[in-house]
Each structure stands twice: as C-alpha cells, then as structure tokens.
Amino acid sequence: MDVYRTPAAALDNLVARRLQPSAEFVAAARRALGALGAFLRERGGRAAAQPWRVLKTAKGGSSGRGTALRGGCDSELVLFLNCFKSYEDQGVRRAEILNEMRVLLESWWQKPIAGLSFEFPEQDAARVLRFRLASTDLENWMDVSLVPAFDALGEGCLTHSRVGGRSLGVGPDFQS
C-alpha cells in the first residue's frame, strides 16, 4: 500500500478497503449498540432502589466520529439519566448506577448479535462501564465505554446543538 503513489481520486477507496473496519463488523456493531440503546431506554433502572431512565444519548470516540480503523476502535456512549439532580449527585450515585448497568448488560447479551462476541475487561475506571464487542474472527473489535451523566442543560437541549458547525451526534438512539 503506497499512499504516496495513490491518485487523489482513489484515496477514499484505499482508506475504505485497507484502513477501515469491515462493513460487516461496522453494521453488526451498530445493530448491537442500537439494540443496547433501546434496551436501556426501555428497561432503564426500573428495578433499582431509586429508579432511573435514559433521557438521551451521545456518541463519541473513533466509532462515533466515523474515524475507526481496522483492528480496534473505541466508542463512548454517554447516557444522560434523569436520576442525577447535580454533578455532586452524579458523583455520589455513579458506582451504584454502573453496577446496575452491568447487570442490565449481562441480561441484554442473553440474545447475542450474530457475528459478535461480548466481554467485560477488567474495570479500571470508576467513572465508566467498559465492555468489548469483537468480530467472531477477532479481526476487528470495539471497546465501548458507557458513561452515565448528569443532563446539565436540561432534557432535550442537546438535540439541536452544534459545535463549530458540526452536530454533537446526539439523538434518540445510538444509531443517529
């Protein structure tokens, strides 16, 4: 692969063929994250001591920006929850919410997505819940971080937000 000898008109094709994850993996990961988003919005923390629900979501990371590379990529899924009344409240309840989310994820994965495997790595960050989606051939993987967050701007304020002329990628589900 000689990028310097590739005509400008062929660069997009070169990137798609050689550098980006396979279309099958991207589609399977999007289906999985979409299903997870719907599951969390539907089930939320209804069984929790203090019930919570997902108000809205935002995607980040290389997968969320569309800059994922073949092999491995990352995705941050920020979940704005109705149970946090302030940043301080978020700090106090974060561990409880993350534990509930892990139980929900284990329940959700009882119906696996074709072409993907799912695992929880060692949890080294107290502010997020990490898991990995991998292609069954292990050629591609995505490290996903679920980030519960306080909705400082109020419900619905981010749905039309733009930064520097670019959308923040916030929508009613993970596929937007």
pLDDT of 61-111, one tens digit each? 887 777 787 888 888 889 999 988 888 988 888 888 998 899 888 888 888
How far, in Å, CA of 116 to CA of 28, rounded? 7
Across 53-57, 85-89, 96-100, 157-161, least confident range: 157-161
Give domain limits for the chain. 22-171
Please check whether the domain covering 22-171 is classified as CATH 3.40.605.10. no
**85, 63, 52, 83: which is closest to 145 by C-alpha?**
63
Q: Are 158 and 176 in contact (CB under 8 A)?
A: no
pTM of the model: 0.74
